[in-house]
Chain A
Amino acid sequence: MPEKRIVLKNCGVIDPRDINTYLGQDGFKALAKARTELTPEQVIAEIKGSGLRGRGGAGFPAGLKWELARNAPGTEKYVICNADEGEVGTFKDRYILGRDPFSLIEAMAIAGYAIGSQTGYIYLRAEYYYLLNLLQNAIAQAQEGGFLKGLVIEICEGAGFYVCGEETALMDSIEGRRGEVRFRPPFPPTQGLWGKPTIINNVETLINIPQIILNGAEWFNHIGTERSKGTKVFSISGDVERPGVYELVMGSPLRELVEELALARDVKLVQVGGAAGRVLPYQEIDTPLAFETVLGAGAVIVFNESRDVIDIVFRTMEFFAEECCGKCTPCRLGTEAMIEILAKFVQGSGSKEDLTVLEDTARMMQLTSLCGLGQTAPNAVVDTLQYFPDLYQARISKSEVP
């Protein structure tokens, strides 16, 4: 399947500092169409009909989220754009924000119209501070152009913590508190920021919105697979010749991205979805990239034959232990236990019992952790135990082997 530019349509085409270049590319036409031709309910019906699902990792249907927030009682509601982009190996939101800030603003205005909100927040990853000025400039130009009509968009700088990308921790962070995950339900569309109905969407999810409103749900619905509509923007890095950002139709095979576009050779394994994602060995390279199979936030990290699998898994776990918020027991102590055990395998002094403990702990973390961080932290362990069992066996201390 070919590369297709829906999300990246304006990137490199417009001048991100000049709204007129955006207007020249049908900019703000979708917003005008939504406001004049469609009721908020019709906007939501359009998004629902398009089959658009969240691009931040979880793949929740965007239209349904908006509908829940629209129907939630209350007059004060919020729209949040999640631009925290913390997943290991993702850099597509940064790419989009720096090249097409206007589409994001237009999408947030459409979202505000649809759910009945006057306040929007862009939660910008702390390390992306250099984009602050560009975004503020874009908001100001949209404001001056009269496109925002009362909608106020504020930029909130991130707290520099992976878990603050998690929607509820992110809201705590905006509220000025320590970014700690809240339990659900209640879900944000009914009780989110300051306890008010809130929709939170990833940058890429939002960028799709103006296109869907302009071209119709039907158009979008015909792109992609049965349960994954549209395109996906991937950030590919690691042992590849051409790392970068690529947009592919949903369902494209992993091989196309890794070998044909990024020109990787001697691939040993690919981590799809970043640290929280799934690990695929080379024999799975024809797996289609979609919500039905593997996707996550679209971070693809390639490792070639020279890499040590257990070392990769160990470092992944170190990342999670470092970024765990510490609130829930399974993640706080589970990541720590896994580090201790994996360290033994790195050194070649593991035991059979350690393998059982790894499996038990992984299962418990997936089942009981409070948020996605703890639930996905063991993925790399689980997948490599499945695909590379021999490598673990080979690291069992010699004195253990009968």
Chain B
Amino acid sequence: MITVQLNGSEVQGRPGMTILELAQENGIDIPTLCYRSELNPIGACRICSVEVEGARTLVASCHTPIAPGMAIHTHSPKVLQARKSIVELLLASHPDACLVCDKANLCELRKLAADLGVGLPRFRIRKRYYPLEDVSPYIVRDLTKCILCQRCVRACREIKKQDVFAIAYRGFDSKVVVDQDQPLDKEVCRDCDVCISFCPVGALTKREEALVPKKGIPLIMKG
């Protein structure tokens, strides 16, 4: 067993365990976005960052293993400020379409914003507008809303072993694409739906479910 300090108390963990897993076992909720327990972590969104004493930067808890003697702070002011700042960026580049979005109150980005108390971003940045892709009989892709968590890419690859999606272009223009950036059609994708269930926002929707009322806890956005 490995002994570490978690938010001031001494706790024990197993070798190889990540900071996130340890926190979860101890009832501490660290927000995540690109991480899903069913998929390999990639450390892309950085929302799960935590402070480890002595480290030069914050570390992403979803892929950083615990080490003996680590002193971890999951909700220090530094951590909260950084998380808020990341969510603010995501909101700033997200289309202002929440009112008419099918993901409605199931949206993980909205939930994060509400939990962290992030309201309207203080600045503007470019948005990436793409035409709605509704060629596929199964999936409607609205990549304008995509936050590049790569959950669909990994779900398709790791769970269904299909590898339909990949990332193309670079930097701000990065995009989840099919083949050489072709619209998703039924030639490459069958209707397993696995990617849809993994999308945290409204970028992927099941065709027949688009515009059907959603159930879920209502969220309040602070502003």
**Interface of chain A: mostly helix, strand, loop or mixed:** helix
With A161-B170, A324-B170 in contact, do A330 and B44 touch (Cβ < 8 Å)?
A: no
Contact (Cβ within 8 A) B172 A367: no
Closest residue on chain A to residue B122 by CB atoms? A357
Contacts of B172 in A (CB 8 A): 321, 324, 326, 332-333, 335-336
Stretch at the interface among A3-11, A215-223, A263-271, A358-366: A358-366
Q: Taking the complex as formed, is A329 at the interface, i.e. its CB lies under 8 A from any CB of chain B?
A: yes
Stretch at the interface among B7-15, B60-68, B198-206: B60-68
Interface string of A120-132 (1 = CB under 8 A from B): 0000000000000
Contacts of B180 in A (CB 8 A): none
Contact (Cβ within 8 A) A327 B85: no
Residues of chain A whose beta carbon lies under 8 Å from any beta carbon of chain B: 161, 178, 180, 183, 185, 321-330, 332-337, 340-341, 353-354, 356-357, 360-361, 363-364, 366-370, 375
Known pairs A322-B171, A353-B122, A368-B57; list 7 more (Cβ under 8 Å).
A178-B166, A321-B171, A323-B171, A326-B170, A327-B148, A333-B172, A367-B82
Q: Taking the complex as formed, is B86 at the interface, i.e. its CB lies under 8 A from any CB of chain A?
A: yes
How far is it, in angstroms, between the C-alpha of A363 and the C-alpha of B82 when the chains are bound? 8
Q: Taking the complex as formed, is B210 at the interface, i.e. its CB lies under 8 A from any CB of chain A?
A: no
6 CB < 8 A contacts A-B: A327-B42, A327-B167, A329-B47, A329-B148, A366-B57, A367-B78
Q: How large is the interface on B (under 10, 10 to 19, 20 to 34, 35 or more residues)?
A: 35 or more
With A369-B46, A370-B43 in contact, do A364 and B81 touch (Cβ < 8 Å)?
A: yes
Contact (Cβ within 8 A) A354 B123: yes
Contact (Cβ within 8 A) A326 B46: no
Contact (Cβ within 8 A) A326 B174: yes
With A333-B90, A333-B172, A375-B57 in contact, do A180 and B167 touch (Cβ < 8 Å)?
A: yes
Q: Which of B57, B58, B126 has the most CB of A within 10 A?
A: B57
CB within 8 Å: A-B pair count:
114
Report A358 CB to chain B, min CB distance, Å: 9
Closest residue on chain B to residue A177 by CB atoms? B166
How far is it, in angstroms, between the C-alpha of A324 and the C-alpha of B45 when the chains are bound? 14
Contact (Cβ within 8 A) A337 B171: no
- Which of B122-164 touch A at CB < 8 Å? 122-126, 147-148
How far is it, in angstroms, between the C-alpha of A369 and the C-alpha of B82 when the chains are bound? 11
With A183-B60, A185-B64, A326-B169 in contact, do A368 and B174 touch (Cβ < 8 Å)?
A: no
Contacts of B60 in A (CB 8 A): 183, 368, 370
Closest 9 CB pairs of A and B: A326-B174, A183-B43, A364-B85, A333-B89, A324-B171, A368-B46, A367-B58, A364-B82, A326-B171
Q: Which of A326, A341, A353, A375 has the most CB of B within 10 A?
A: A326
Contacts of B125 in A (CB 8 A): 333, 336-337, 340
- Which of B80-126 touch A at CB < 8 Å? 81-82, 85-86, 89-90, 92-93, 122-126
